[in-house]
Amino acid sequence: MLAILKRETKSYYNGMVGYVAGAVLAAFVGLYSTVYNLLSASPDFASVLYSTAIILLFVLPALSMRSFAEERRAGTDQLLLTSPVGIPSIVLGKYLAQVAVFALALLPACVLPLLLTLFGQVSLVSAYAALLAFFLLGAACLAVGTWLSAMTENQILAYLSTFAVLLVSYMMNSIQTLFTSGSTLAFIVFAVALLVAAVLVGVLCKSLPAGSAVFAAGAAALVALFRLRPAWLLSAFNAALGALALFEPFNSFVGGMFSVQGIVYYLSVIALFLFLTGQTLEKRRWS
C-alpha cells in the first residue's frame, strides 16, 4: 500500500495536476479571504471555506478521474492486480494519494486563520473545525470520484460523471425543497427505485421469480404505506434525499456548530465508496 501511495502522490506532481489543484484552491481561498476577511474586516474564516466549496466540484474530479481509469487504459492495473498486494491495499493506496494531494493543496488555507489573528480576535477553533470539515468533505468527494473512475477506462467520462454527481449532491438542498408536499411523487420515486432494484435482483440471480418476488413484496409494502401512512413515505423520501446532500454537514460547521454526526457521515461515505471501488475492481475480474 505504501509503495502505491508514494508512487501515486509523486505522479500527481510529475505532471501538472497536483500543482494546478493546489494553485486553484490557494487562489480561490486567497480571493475569498481577501474579500470576506480583509476587505470587509470579518474574522469569520469558515465563510471563506463555504464559498470555496463550489470550487471543489471542479478541482476534485480532476484528482480522482485518473486513479483507476488511466491505470486500466494503460494496462498498468495488471501490474498491481498480479502483485502480491490485496485489492483493499491498492484502493487505499490510490485513494490516500489523492487525499494527500488535496491536503497539500489545503496547506495555504491552514495558515490564513493564523495570519488573521495578527489583526484581531479570530475564533481559531471554529476556523479549524470548519477546515477539518472542509477536508473531510473533499475526501468524501474524492472517494465518490475514485469509485466512478474505477467504473470506466475513460478519464473524461470519469471527470464528467464525478462532476455531475457532485453537482447534484451540491444542489440537493434546493432539490429537496421541491418535494415538500404531496406524497404521490415520493410514492412514484420509491416505486421506480423498487423496480430498478427488482430488475437488478432478477438479473444478478438470473431468475425471474426472484426479481418478481422482490418487486411484489416491495410493492405491497409501498402501497400499504402509501394508503395508511403517507406522511411516513414523504419523510422517508426526504431523509433519503438528505443523505445524498454531501455538502450539508459541512454547512453546519460553517454555522459554527461542531457536528460529530457530520464527521461520522463523511467517514461513512468514504468507507462506503472505497468499498464499492474494491467491489468494482473485484467484479471486473469475474466478468
Interface with other proteins, residue 5, by CB under 8 A = no
- Asked if 260 is part of the footprint of other proteins (rule: CB under 8 A), the reply reads no
Residue 160 touches other proteins, criterion: CB under 8 A: no
Q: Between residues 113 and 278, which has the closer beta carbon with respect to other proteins?
A: 278
CB of 144 to other proteins, least distance (A): 25
Q: Does 76 bind other proteins (CB under 8 A)?
A: yes
Binds other proteins by CB under 8 A, chosen from 34, 78, 117, 207: 78
Single out the residue of 17, 20, 23, 85 in contact with other proteins (rule: CB under 8 A): 85
d(CA 22, CA 92): 22
Binding part of the chain for other proteins, among 6-14, 101-109, 119-127, 257-265 by CB under 8 A, reads 6-14
Residue choice 41, 227, 239, 285 for contact with other proteins (CB under 8 A): 285
CB-CB contact of 22 with 12 (8 Å): no
> Is 41 a residue that touches other proteins (CB under 8 A)?
no
Site string for other proteins, 7-26 (x = CB under 8 A): x---x--xx-----------
**Minimum distance between the CB of residue 207 and other proteins, rounded to whole angstroms?**
18
Query: Which residues are near other proteins by CB under 8 A?
Result: 2-4, 6-7, 11, 14-15, 74-86, 285-287
